[in-house]
Amino acid sequence: MTRSKLILAALAGLVIAGSASAAGGAKHPHGPEGGFPFEGPFGRFEDESVQRGYQVYREVCASCHSMKLMHYRNLGEPGGPFYDPEYPNANDNPLVKAFAAQDEILSSQPNDVGDYEYRPARPSDPFKSPYPNDAAARAANGGALPPDLSVITKARHGGADYIYDLMLGYPDPGEISDDGEIEFREDYHGTLTQAPGQYYNPYMEGDTIPAWEGDPRHAPPGGFLAMAPQLMDGRVTYMDGTEATKEQMAYDVAQFLAWAGEPKQTNRKSAGLAVMAYLLIFAGLLWFSYKRIWRNVSH
Amino acid sequence: MSGHESTYEPKTGFEKWLDTRLPLPRLVHDSFVDFPTPKNLNYWYTFGGILSIFLVIQIVTGIVLAMHYTADVDHAFASVERIMRDVPYGWLLRYVHANGASFFFLAVYVHMFRGLYYGSYKAPREVLWILGCIIFLLMVATAFLGYMLPWGQMSLHGANVIVNLFGAIPLVGEGIKTWLLGGPSIGNATLQRFFSLHYLLPFVIAGVVILHVWALHVPGNNNPTGVEVKDTRKDTVPFHPYYTVKDGFAIVVFLLIFAAFVFYMPNVLGHADNYVEADPLVTPAHIVPEWYLLPFYAILRAITFDIGPIDAKLLGVIAMFAAIAVLFVVPWLDTSRVKSMRYRPVARQFFFGFVAACLLLGWVGASNPDDPIIPLGSDKLVVEYSDENGLAAARTFEVYDEAAAFRDGLGEEAGASMAVQKAPAFTFLHLGQILTLYYFAYFLVILPLLGLRERPDEEPDSIHKSVLAREPSAGTPIAQPAE
Ligand code: HEM
């Protein structure tokens, strides 16, 4: 059928032409070299890294970003970074209790005289939010709302890779002049100007053309966001003694957010293995039954 | 088949008692055990069984999800996440239901293409075909309603785009829109009625499926030759165990692929924006429906021109609904005597073209209509300014440095600015328009004319003879997976 082959070839050519010219926009995130350990059907979270990532979240990101869908107890549940088989009920896990107790939250239940008062959090409470509401969050961040990070890895193309690259993608402070100008000399030629409170990042969705002094047909990829670069070497002091380079922190916090976005990911993959094996054997049995039942019928 | 004598023999006393009161076991026996089925059905014919399984999967997972879901704009998003986090195996329920919808559509599209290829819609199966089209329409409605429930950004803004289409209908449009939404815009009332209807429609589908199977069992199955059963003994085998085992094998293989998605890539068929909670004030950059509705979305957006008094928006809506409506009348558009395209070499080429057009329409639906596929020339730079008389003027450049020098050479008062002038290109919109044209031409021009003019190959005398011809060494059965 040469004609269908011709049609197919034409279609393939069209698709390639289309995908080539659709380039542009933000830079495609690639994530850390060697990838994350939780990728692929057999991938699992690296608990130590998720633990460190929680520390980065607590000490850096939590001052602006809420994680409303997370509870302290999640940290100690099976699949969680601080799970301890000695405490099957995460509410009893002393580490989890200690993490919770460090945060003061406004109780959701009134006390005996009907007032709402501050108290240390318990494992069953949701993570403490930095702001009482979105308006307060906006007011404190120059009008931009720091998004809730509970499901951020599912809410962005590229997931954890995107978080990793976004955190590390900002230009070096040395490349930015006092007026917020960034000089481009290699792949792009021209100057990009950051408005006050706005930071250029090649991985952020957006449009650089309005701020670009140079050929608008070859403006740098990415866009601007209201979050300043957060990770500098040594920003946190890891409890486990790991050296806190910015790459290390980005890797850890991205993995922590990937876990938080789907705490049941490990259960999902191990259940998947059993289901796939079962279906495969079942399919094999049915295939041989089929062969046997039809053996005397030409069809 | 209706002409076929019942072979059911009640064995126990209870069965005899029931047989004279409500002969349900007899119905099941005659429909699914001893039902004479052509012996040459290939794997394309297993998708009906696959569809039945997926209907059950969707209903069962859906009912359990509904036990934990909260249809309230303030809680819906979090309640879905809570199902995935705190309900035992909730993540499984939700991923099976979400991916199940995709696989349901995948199966129904294969099932429908199968029908178009083998001419399964022709007499005496027109009613069967129309019932299938009704099922498809109900499936689209159910999926659209269900996509609203997680209350993500795509849920809200996707629904908004579609409901706004009704606003294009003259006179009554706005009224219909308000009536559908339960208010001037999408809100809590909308979410609650969408939930209620999303729960209802699958049971309507189940009812129509019963009619569909009934309408199948009166004329009996069509088959890849399109030649009707002539001799039940030679041409058919009993449904059980021959097709229970073959369908069963196909179902399990299909479930295997389905499981790979559910367990290893549960979110690839969805859209990341739907994990951002709905916010009416923030519109996503690209609003796209789920993949299985993309071809219809592409047809909707292909119409960008008015015809007479009818404006483009309304025409787009009409075209989109017509794309489904035309399926209902296919039995009367196809004028060929020959059912199966196996014996219609010319029609077959147009059919493969039609399948390719549908796939490409999906690609167009996912893309930005103005993006170039094949650029014709390169983008230029335009410097716009006011000349010495204060009139608007513009100059076009190829090279940036020249354009910049010219702009900077103009005085302050010229108010010069530079912009990109896109090169003319063959865009997704153009491709979408060509494909839309082919989509309708296939049904309205090609099928009616070709049937009258083409010279089909010779059909076999019977199913039995065609099997012998394809398989000279009869006795060693070789499965024929596909054409
Ligand atoms: C919920 C969706 C559906 C279910 C559960 C379903 C179920 C079935 C089953 C069990 C069969 C018999 C096995 C087979 O031939 O594959 C069948 C046959 C058929 N279906 Fe469907 N169906 C569905 C949707 C549709 C749709 C949307 C159409 C077309 C618009 C359609 C058209 C047909 C036709 C024409 C046949 C007869 C096929 C032949 O014998 O050649 N069905 N269906």
Give domain limits for chain B: 35-373+429-468, 378-422
Rounded-to-integer distance, Cα B54 and Cα B49, Å: 9
pLDDT recorded at residue B342: 96
Model confidence over A109-151: pLDDT tens digits?
Answer: 999 999 999 999 999 999 999 999 999 999 999 999 999 999 9
> In the predicted model, is pLDDT for residue A12 greater than 70?
no
Rounded-to-integer distance, Cα A208 and Cα A219, Å: 7
> In the predicted model, is pLDDT for residue B201 greater than 70?
yes
Model confidence over B160-169: pLDDT tens digits?
Answer: 999 998 888 8
pLDDT recorded at residue A24: 54
> In the predicted model, is pLDDT for residue A154 greater than 90?
yes
> In the predicted model, is pLDDT for residue B396 greater than 70?
yes
Report whether residue B118 contacts ligand 1, using a CB cutoff of 6 Å. yes
Distances (CA, A) of A94 to A73, A206, B108: 11, 45, 53
CATH classification of B35-373+429-468, choosing from 3.90.1150.10, 3.40.630.40, 3.40.50.2000, 1.20.810.10? 1.20.810.10
Q: Which of B313, B284, B288, B298 is nearest to B427 (CA)?
A: B298
Q: Which of B156, B165, B146 is nearest to B105 (CA)?
A: B146
Distances (CA, A) of B126 to B136, B191, B200, B336, B351: 15, 37, 27, 14, 20
Q: Cα torsion at B426, B429, B433, B439 (round to 10°)? A: 110
* pLDDT confidence band for B412 (50 / 70 / 90): confident
Contact (Cβ atoms closer than 8 angstroms) between residue A265 and residue A79? yes
Q: What is the value of ipTM here, to two decimals? A: 0.92
pLDDT recorded at residue B413: 83
Distances (CA, A) of A192 to A142, A198, A220, B378, B408: 21, 12, 8, 24, 18
Which chain A residue has its CA at the smallest distance from B360's CA?
Answer: A11
User: What is the value of pTM for the model shown?
Assistant: 0.92
> In the predicted model, is pLDDT for residue A57 greater than 60?
yes
Number of neighbouring beta carbons within 10 Å of residue A99: 20
Lookup: tokens for B370: 């103005």
Give how far B157 is from chain A: nearest CA, Å: 16
Model confidence over B141-195: pLDDT tens digits?
Answer: 999 999 999 999 999 999 999 999 888 888 999 999 999 999 999 999 999 999 9
Residues of chain B in contact with residue A283, where contact means CB-CB under 8 angstroms, are 249, 252-253, 256
Pick A279's closest partner by Cβ from B81, B241, B255: B255
Residue with CA closest to ligand 1 atom 16: B48
> In the predicted model, is pLDDT for residue B108 greater than 70?
yes
Range B64-68 contact pairs with CB under 8 angstroms and sequence separation of 24 or more: B64/B93, B65/B93, B65/B94, B65/B97, B66/B195, B66/B199
Q: Taking residues A75-95, report their average pLDDT.
A: 96
pLDDT recorded at residue B343: 97
Task: Provide φ and ψ at A213, rounded to 5°.
Answer: -100, 100
Sign of CA dihedral A119, A123, A127, A133: negative
Bridge partner list, B396: B382
Report whether residue B136 contacts ligand 1, using a CB cutoff of 6 Å. yes
* pLDDT confidence band for A3 (50 / 70 / 90): low
Q: For a pLDDT cut of 90, what percent of chain A falls above it?
A: 89
Which chain B residue has its CA at the smallest distance from A219's CA?
Answer: B420
Give how far B169 is from chain A: nearest CA, Å: 34
Pick B475's closest partner by Cβ from A289, A291, A296: A296
Q: For a pLDDT cut of 90, what percent of chain B falls above it?
A: 89
Model confidence over A247-262: pLDDT tens digits?
Answer: 999 999 999 999 999 9
Contact (Cβ atoms closer than 8 angstroms) between residue B350 and residue B446? yes
How much is the mean pLDDT over chain A?
92
Model confidence over B261-294: pLDDT tens digits?
Answer: 999 999 999 999 999 999 999 999 899 999 999 9
pLDDT recorded at residue B219: 95
Contact (Cβ atoms closer than 8 angstroms) between residue B242 and residue A293? yes
> In the predicted model, is pLDDT for residue B127 greater than 70?
yes
pLDDT recorded at residue B46: 98
Rounded-to-integer distance, Cα B422 and Cα B372, Å: 9
Q: Taking residues A284-288, report their average pLDDT.
A: 98
Report whether residue B115 contacts ligand 1, using a CB cutoff of 6 Å. yes
Residue with CA closest to ligand 1 atom 26: B132
